[in-house]
Amino acid sequence: MIRIRRLFKIIRIVYRYRLDSLIDKDKLPLIARLLLSPAVLYGKPSDNRGERLRKALESLGPIFVKFGQLLSTRPDLVPADICAELAQLQDNVPPFKSAKFRQIVEQALDSSVDELFLSFETEPLASASVAQVHAAVLKDGSDVVVKAVRPNIEKVIGKDIALLYTLARLLAKYSQDGRRLRPVEVIADYEQVIYDELNLQAEGANASLLRHNFEGSQLLYVPKIDWAYSNEKVLVMERIYGTPVTNIDDLKAAGVNFKTLAERGVEIFFTQVFEHNFFHADMHPGNIFVNASNPEKPSYIAIDCAIMGSLSKDDQYYMARNLIAIFKRDYRQVAELHIRSGWVPESTPVNEFTSAIRAVCEPIFQRPLNEISLGHMLISLFTTARRFDMEVQPSLVLLQKTLLNIEGLGRQLYPQLDLWTTAQPFLDKWLKDRYSPKSLFKQFKRYAPDWMEQLPEIPPLIYQALQSMQSNEKSVKAVVPAAQAKSKLSFTRKWFPWVGGAAIGSGLCLAFPQSANTLSQLPETGIILVAIGLFILLLR
């Protein structure tokens, strides 16, 4: 009954904001057309489609508001005019009662608020669609904020998600753009995001790792989590005091160097993506503050780590190579990298794909560098690649969305920001470091214990492989003369002493280094190479 009432409320809002005009009604079944037909009684819509959709989501409540925010971050799937309008959705939801907040905290921490805190503010600092935040002071005098999930929100989310899936399937089936927009996939992504946000312990773990990654850094500060007072339902963290990044007048009054501030934002982004491979994927202005205590070298403060992103090693590598190739306007390499990475099918014609990429990127480069948006270029590039059956990866979408946020924020702070000049040296250095001896030896050392564990299995596998080779040679004796087969095997075995000797020599160098240089302290790898070398010599 509750779900039916909710469905009728959605239908009324569809009528009110004439969302029926977003659907190709001629392709709808008769019953659906009859259901939507009363919408014409509300007259011709005066607002554009993006504004009507935004107002409808706001009327439907916090879960739909959150969904609208997610849609605004999917420019690869949602038209630009709708994205721009949905980006205006504010996560400013009326707070629930302080007594209920207090009850949630006490149940989650199994103690009264008076016993847990020296003081506790009844008025919330902030109220969002999923959680609410209050200020408090711990018994040791530390200023903290207490975050708790809204009561009974899981049930509300479950019901609304079910309805969203229904609407998405209808859109995919009957809308002209339904298949291209992949609404069911969008709902699935949203479902994962919204349920992840309900687990405050996971958010705290994200914040702790991000804090660790920037420990001692002058670029970014992340509040400390107080794990003694935190779990899945409640999160207690250090209270930060900074200037909201959107308060430009306050930052100007503090004498902040906006050029440095904007460039540091770009540096933070590329450091997270390519050095740490763990990036804050919800970097909208409400989650960013500025520490202006040193105006010439201002730093950032980040909060709300519920949504984080990371790339696979392959995607990380290919993304860096793609960006560098774009910087150099080497469009053929961009096309080849897309194919090699598996982002587009191997059968994609390279020349045709190169021409399509050139048609997108080259006009952009005719503009001044400080007017070029790398984020929007990636959107155009991925849109073009989808014509060649590119499957958009969720991790790449998160990366693209975060880049758009950072780039937009940087240009707001310093309109002359040249993202290309700031980013290219960073990417060049990252690729150089990736193949440096130190990095390679670090990888060897990391995997050496796994190799040691698997070492006993290597001799039987090699023996079986050689036995299989000998069996194959016997089976072709009817075609290949026996003398020729014997000659091939003999020729192959001639290499055994060289291969075995090389393995033993390399292993001894690694196992017993001449100096204490950290680059050569790999005894585990050395032992493995010595063992393999001895085994090869025995096979001879």
Q: DSSP characters for 424-477?
A: HHHHHHHHHHHTSHHHHHHHHHHHHHHHHHHGGGHHHHHHHHHHHHHHHHHHTT
Answer whether residue 223 is part of any domain. Answer: no
Low-confidence ranges of the chain (pLDDT < 50): 482-483, 485-496, 498-504, 508, 510-524, 527, 529-530, 534, 536-539
Are 308 and 280 contained in the same domain?
A: yes
Number of domains comprising the chain: 3
What b/e string do you get for 271-283 counting C-beta neighbours within 10 Å, with b at 16 or more? bbbbeeebbbbbb
Are 381 and 495 contained in the same domain?
A: no
How confident is the model at residue 119, as a pLDDT?
Answer: 94
Answer whether residue 219 is part of any domain. Answer: no
Characterize the bridge pairing of strands 308-309 and 143-149.
unpaired
220 token code pair: 């970014």
Answer whether residue 115 is part of any domain. Answer: no
- Domain end (from 167, 196, 225): 196
pTM: 0.71
How confident is the model at residue 32, as a pLDDT?
Answer: 72
Q: Does the annotation count 249 as an active-site position? A: no
How confident is the model at residue 496, as a pLDDT?
Answer: 47
- Domain end (from 435, 462, 493): 435
Are 405 and 504 contained in the same domain?
A: no
Question: Which run of H or E residues covers position 196?
Answer: helix 183-197
Answer whether residue 236 is part of any domain. Answer: no
How confident is the model at residue 374, as a pLDDT?
Answer: 79
How confident is the model at residue 336, as a pLDDT?
Answer: 92
For residue 281, give every residue at least 6 positions away whose Cβ sits within 8 Å of its Cβ, in sequence order, or none. Answer: 307, 308, 309, 398, 399, 401, 402
What does the pLDDT look like over 183-195, one tens digit per residue? 787 778 778 877 8
How confident is the model at residue 418, as a pLDDT?
Answer: 80
Answer whether residue 137 is part of any domain. Answer: no
Are 192 and 307 contained in the same domain?
A: no
For residue 493, give every residue at least 6 positions away whose Cβ sits within 8 Å of its Cβ, in sequence order, or none. Answer: 540
* Bridge partners, residue 165, by sequence: none
Are 177 and 251 contained in the same domain?
A: no
Are 373 and 481 contained in the same domain?
A: no
Decide: residue 149, CB within 10 A, 0-12 exposed, 13-18 middle, 19+ buried: buried
Could you list the residue range(s) of the whole structural domain that residue 74 is in?
Answer: 2-92+153-196
Are 426 and 463 contained in the same domain?
A: no
Radius of gyration from C-alpha coordinates of the chain = 29
Select which of 160, 282, 304, 315 is catalytic.
Answer: 282
Q: Which of 397, 404, 401, 395 is nearest to 382 (CA)?
A: 397
Are 20 and 161 contained in the same domain?
A: yes
User: Cβ(27)–Cβ(172) under 8 Å?
Assistant: no
Are 378 and 518 contained in the same domain?
A: no
How confident is the model at residue 392, as a pLDDT?
Answer: 64
Answer whether residue 98 is part of any domain. Answer: no
- Domain end (from 408, 435, 462): 435
Are 268 and 308 contained in the same domain?
A: yes
What does the pLDDT look like over 149-176, one tens digit per residue? 988 888 878 888 887 788 788 777 766 5
Answer whether residue 455 is part of any domain. Answer: yes
**Three-state DSSP class for residue 412:** helix
Answer whether residue 124 is part of any domain. Answer: no
Are 424 and 365 contained in the same domain?
A: yes
Are 491 and 376 contained in the same domain?
A: no
How confident is the model at residue 74, as a pLDDT?
Answer: 64
